[in-house]
Structure 1
Amino acid sequence: MRVHHLNCGTCCPAGGRLFDGTSDGPLGHLVCHCLLIESDTGLILIDTGFGTRDIDHPHRRLSEFFLKLNNIQLRPEETAIAQLRAFGFSPSDVRHIVVTHLDFDHAGGIEDFPNATVHLTAREKEVADGRRGGAFVGTRRYRPAQWNDVSDWRL
């Protein structure tokens, strides 16, 4: 088994060190950390970061509030799909995606892997589908457009 650490999205919020603990400038540098695991049964992704559809249509798929607050840098080369292709893999090689939670910066690339089974806790799916978690935050952190084409959930 091999594990690859991926940055599947970069956010540069104002506040520097207050956000990331290390930046000396006015902007922080936060990454959407994902894992790509090579296993005997195929590839496994732990979270997906931002996906190609997020990059193509950010104002439809992501909250304007979080786009501005986080100063999200949507770079095609940072998508999980681009990085696994750079390793020589195909999107169809991804058999499983384990999503820690459905926040926009963890789940945006799910639909880039339509053949994968998506694993998630039942409670997280229930909360995300209801877009709960506070009226303001719940409607902005969960972006159902990022996962509404998923057909194979394992809760």
Structure 2
Amino acid sequence: MNWEVYALKYADRNSRTRKDSFIFDDNHDQPHEMDYFIWVLKSGDQVILVDTGYDEAEARRRDRPIIREPAAALGGIGLKPEDITTLIVTHLHYDHAGGLSQFPNATIHLQAAEMAYATGPCMCHDTLRMPFSADHVCEAVKRVYSGRVVFHDGDGEVAEGVTVHCIGGHSRGLQAVRVRTTSGWLCLASDAAHYYENVFARKPFPIVVDLQNMLEGFDRIQALASHRSLLIPGHDPLVMNLFERAGPDYAVRLDRGPAREFTL
């Protein structure tokens, strides 16, 4: 079974510099933009959502405006939030799990290590807690109590041709998603690589719980993809330029590979 894969952009932050993206870099003061995405997998009648983004309430709370509600962005490819019954949450940071409540019919696929991390002693530290919001984590806990969380411990299968793989590094239970497509195996790295440059130039991202896991994860996510052009970083604006548009101007299709020459 092969899958179509779509990236839907819902926000950007253009006031960042390279020091916000790379621990080791010689040009820390140069501007460095960031895009925010959710991802959709489609095969026949089957649909899987990867991450939820964050909503207007969280945007106001963090003073990080969004362009469009991620749940509403699904309409651009003919979907509604109620259509989503399978949801892969790569990790519980606010920008990846901040819209869980908008998908009431979804069963969540999550690494057990991520739930333990987001609800455990590490959250006593302000620095480690910063990317999480208690309401989002509590929503994930409620799904556990309603029997709608499937926990994975390392590698796991979500559907035929869709697997998850615990990478860690950026968050303790961060998972990447491997998807079979007509172009080969595609890897949605999520925040295992925010940018192409993180992984291909081996420049770690500054928000990190385990630097060794992050660095070893760069090798793992490259191995999960059939070709480096099928490794999709979680926040790189280049994604919107490299891949072909799919309907609205905020959606691109990933499974056919880049529409423009890939030179990274």
The two structures have a TM-score, normalised by structure 2, of 0.45
Offset of residue 13 of structure 1: 3.7
1:80 is the counterpart of 2:76: no
Q: Is the 8 A contact 2:100 2:139 kept in 1?
A: no
1:50 is the counterpart of 2:54: yes
Q: Is the 8 A contact 2:118 2:137 kept in 1?
A: no
2:83 to 66, 77, 93: 93
Which whole-Å CA distance do the structure 1 matches of 2:121 and 2:46 have between them?
Answer: 32
Number of paired residues?
137
Q: Which residue of 1 aligns with 2:241?
A: none
Offset of residue 52 of structure 1: 4.6
Cα 1:149/1:41, change in 2 over 3 Å: farther
How much is the aligned-residue C-alpha RMSD, in angstroms?
2.6
* Rg comparison, structure with higher value: 2
1:7 is the counterpart of 2:9: yes
Offset of residue 92 of structure 1: 1.4
1:116 to 106, 112, 117: 106
Offset of residue 132 of structure 1: 1.8
Which whole-Å CA distance do the structure 2 matches of 1:83 and 1:89 have between them?
Answer: 9
Unmatched runs of 5 consecutive residues or more in structure 1 = none
Offset of residue 147 of structure 1: 4.3
Q: Over residues 64-102 of structure 1, what are the superposed CA-to-partner deviations in whole Å (9 max), with x where a residue is unaligned?
A: xxx4xxxx2223x2x321111122212111111111111
Which whole-Å CA distance do the structure 2 matches of 1:39 and 1:111 have between them?
Answer: 25
Identical pairs, percent: 25
Q: Secondary structure at the match of 1:115?
A: coil
Offset of residue 119 of structure 1: 0.8
Which whole-Å CA distance do the structure 2 matches of 1:7 and 1:49 have between them?
Answer: 9
Q: Which residue of 1 aligns with 2:38?
A: 34
Q: Is the 8 A contact 2:9 2:37 kept in 1?
A: yes
Offset of residue 33 of structure 1: 2.8
Cα 1:135/1:20, change in 2 over 3 Å: closer
Q: Is the 8 A contact 2:51 2:88 kept in 1?
A: yes
Cα 1:113/1:130, change in 2 over 3 Å: same
Which whole-Å CA distance do the structure 2 matches of 1:137 and 1:40 have between them?
Answer: 43
Q: 2:117 is aligned with what amino acid? A: V
Offset of residue 54 of structure 1: 2.4
Q: Is the 8 A contact 1:8 1:48 kept in 2?
A: no
Which whole-Å CA distance do the structure 2 matches of 1:154 and 1:143 have between them?
Answer: 21
Offset of residue 7 of structure 1: 1.7
Offset of residue 146 of structure 1: 1.9
Unmatched runs of 5 consecutive residues or more in structure 2 = 23-28, 152-264
Q: Is the 8 A contact 2:16 2:34 kept in 1?
A: no
The two structures have a TM-score, normalised by structure 1, of 0.73
Q: Which residue of 2 aligns with 1:140?
A: 130
Which whole-Å CA distance do the structure 2 matches of 1:112 and 1:19 have between them?
Answer: 30
